[in-house]
């Protein structure tokens, strides 16, 4: 009798346990489904930068020429700057190994050959980089993205081994959502962050209008329905930001190695960055900050920054391509550094009137990056990319270079 009762109770408990398990699985699936729907709904809130043309034609046409806008794109013969022409489409590693850029019926490829035998071919799917310095390339493998082994560097106008590859053919470097967070406006990640993440293929390329102004579907719809409304509705105007809000928006991608505390793409313009990231505690001084990637870290250590209310927008117009316009940036320095303010450059008498046309090379010189290093074909020693240092200060060696050039002219 006791055995029969025990068996009966075991059946009841087993049934309850199974029911609880199935219920928890249903809740888990429902939670995942709701999370995916929320992210999908967020993607549907983006109208795309082209929707801005009707009301903001001149700003849009100027913006699409900037490095921000061009920082990512679908890979095509037009967007890829490297050559596919014979004689310029190969990178030879050694007598056995080479990579050839090839046009095939279904796309453009990087093809690995060993002793003339094809080992692996992967298609160019996404271009990353405006080609101001260079471009690197990504390929889709199912729903994940990986970097191709060859990169194009503008300074040498040639294919080079991608940074960090050091003379090796590697197709397996995964691209994370954090990479895309700084090189795209939006990319949907249907799974939690990991070393190899999955992405929806419907990516909003480039740092477009909505990266800084927020998703615009509601805004576009409202303004079309109310054409006489002069005040922009359902859109964010960064010009109204506090200093910290403005800095946080730029620091998202120009603040060095940030450690995520929440998933990528949750931070939105106007948010507080500290709610989504923590800073790299290992970076303690300007000497340890590379000139690539952490412009804010260098700028914030500068006296110009510390003794003023300047932000990145004090010097940079995000709507215009001002790359290389030294005189334009120098004029912005002169708006603060004047003889009336008693903070004008003390070298003005030695340098002369030309000092007003170029503060930048003296106080923000180009320096070699330790992070962006590429290997040219036929060379054993990698070459560093040269980038503008955002730590504003007096660089005696750079000043001497300019004075020496002036003495030669005289």
Give the model confidence (pLDDT) of 372-390 as tens digits: 999 899 898 889 999 999 9
Instruction: Give the DSSP letter of residue 233.
Output: P
pLDDT digits (tens, 9 = 90+) for 83-96: 999 999 999 999 99
Is residue 212 a contact partner of residue 234, using CB atoms and an 8 Å limit?
no
* 387 backbone dihedrals φ, ψ, rounded to 5°: -140, 155
What is the per-residue pLDDT for 189? Answer: 82
CA separation, residue 51 to residues 33, 55, 70 (Å): 30, 9, 17
For residues 155-174, average pLDDT: 91
Of 10-14, 174-178, 326-330, the range with the lowest mean pLDDT is 10-14
For residues 345-362, average pLDDT: 86
Average model confidence (pLDDT) across the chain:
89
Which stretch, 161-170, 185-194, 222-231, 266-275, has highest mean pLDDT?
A: 266-275
pLDDT grade for 138, boundaries at 50, 70 and 90 = very high
Residues 6+ apart with CB under 8 A from 167: 93, 161, 375
What is the per-residue pLDDT for 34? Answer: 46
What is the per-residue pLDDT for 10? Answer: 58
Is residue 297 a contact partner of residue 256, using CB atoms and an 8 Å limit?
yes
For residues 205-227, average pLDDT: 96
pLDDT grade for 349, boundaries at 50, 70 and 90 = confident
Cα(230)–Cα(396) distance, rounded to whole angstroms?
A: 51
Cα(3)–Cα(347) distance, rounded to whole angstroms?
A: 100
pLDDT digits (tens, 9 = 90+) for 178-205: 999 999 999 988 766 566 899 999 999 9
- pLDDT surpasses 80 at 139: yes
- pLDDT surpasses 50 at 356: yes
pLDDT grade for 41, boundaries at 50, 70 and 90 = confident
- Higher-pLDDT residue of 246, 352: 246
What is the per-residue pLDDT for 32? Answer: 47
pLDDT grade for 230, boundaries at 50, 70 and 90 = confident
Instruction: Give the DSSP letter of residue 238.
Output: G
pLDDT grade for 241, boundaries at 50, 70 and 90 = very high
- Higher-pLDDT residue of 166, 136: 136
- pLDDT surpasses 60 at 23: no
Q: CA-based angle 335:338:340, to the nearest 5?
A: 125
Instruction: Give the DSSP letter of residue 385.
Output: E
In percent, how much of the chain has pLDDT > 90? 70
Ramachandran class of 345: left when φ > 0, alpha when ψ lies in -120 to 50, beta otherwise: beta
pLDDT digits (tens, 9 = 90+) for 283-292: 668 888 999 9
- pLDDT surpasses 50 at 121: yes
For residues 306-318, average pLDDT: 96
Instruction: Give the DSSP letter of residue 232.
Output: P
Is residue 217 a contact partner of residue 192, using CB atoms and an 8 Å limit?
no
**DSSP bridge partners of 383:** 374
Determine the 3-state secondary structure of 134 from DSSP: strand
- pLDDT surpasses 50 at 31: no
What is the per-residue pLDDT for 352? Answer: 83
């Amino acid at each position: 009798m006791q055995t029969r009762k025990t068996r009966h109770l075991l059946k009841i408990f087993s049934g309850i346990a199974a029911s609880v398990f199935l219920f928890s699985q249903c809740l888990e699936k429902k939670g995942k489904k709701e999370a995916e729907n929320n992210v999908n709904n967020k993607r549907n809130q983006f109208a795309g930068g082209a929707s801005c043309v009707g009301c903001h034609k001149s700003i849009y046409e100027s913006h699409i020429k900037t490095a921000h806008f061009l920082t990512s794109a679908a890979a095509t013969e037009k967007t890829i700057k490297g050559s596919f022409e014979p004689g310029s489409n190969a990178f030879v590693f050694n007598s056995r190994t080479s990579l050839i850029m090839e046009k095939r019926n279904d796309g453009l490829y990087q093809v690995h050959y060993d002793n003339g035998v094809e080992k692996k071919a992967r298609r160019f799917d996404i271009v990353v980089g405006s080609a101001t310095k260079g471009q690197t390339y990504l390929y889709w493998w199912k729903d994940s993205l990986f970097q191709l082994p060859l990169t194009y560097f503008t300074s040498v106008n040639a294919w080079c081994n991608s940074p960090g590859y050091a003379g090796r053919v590697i197709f397996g470097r995964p691209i994370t959502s954090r990479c895309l967070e700084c090189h795209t406006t939006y990319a949907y990640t249907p799974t939690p962050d990991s070393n190899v993440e999955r992405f929806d293929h419907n990516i909003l390329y480039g740092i477009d209008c909505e990266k800084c102004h927020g998703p615009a579907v509601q805004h576009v719809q409202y303004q079309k329905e109310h054409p006489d409304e002069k005040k922009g509705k359902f859109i964010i105007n960064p010009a109204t930001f506090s200093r910290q809000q403005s800095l946080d928006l730029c620091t998202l991608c120009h603040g060095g190695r940030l450690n995520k505390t929440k998933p990528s793409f949750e931070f939105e313009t106007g948010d507080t960055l500290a709610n989504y990231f923590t800073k790299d505690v290992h970076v303690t001084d300007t000497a340890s900050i590379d000139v690539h990637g952490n412009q804010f870290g260098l700028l914030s250590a500068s006296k110009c920054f510390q003794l003023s209310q300047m932000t990145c927008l004090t010097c940079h117009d995000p709507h215009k391509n001002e790359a290389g316009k030294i005189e334009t940036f120098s004029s912005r320095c002169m708006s603060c550094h004047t003889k009336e303010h008693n903070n004008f450059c003390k070298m003005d008498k030695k340098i002369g009137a030309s000092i007003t046309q170029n503060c930048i090379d003296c106080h923000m010189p180009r320096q070699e990056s330790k992070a962006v290093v590429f290997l040219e074909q036929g060379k054993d020693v990698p070459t560093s990319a040269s980038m503008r240092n955002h730590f504003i200060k007096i660089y005696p060696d750079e000043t001497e270079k300019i004075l020496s050039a002036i003495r030669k002219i005289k």
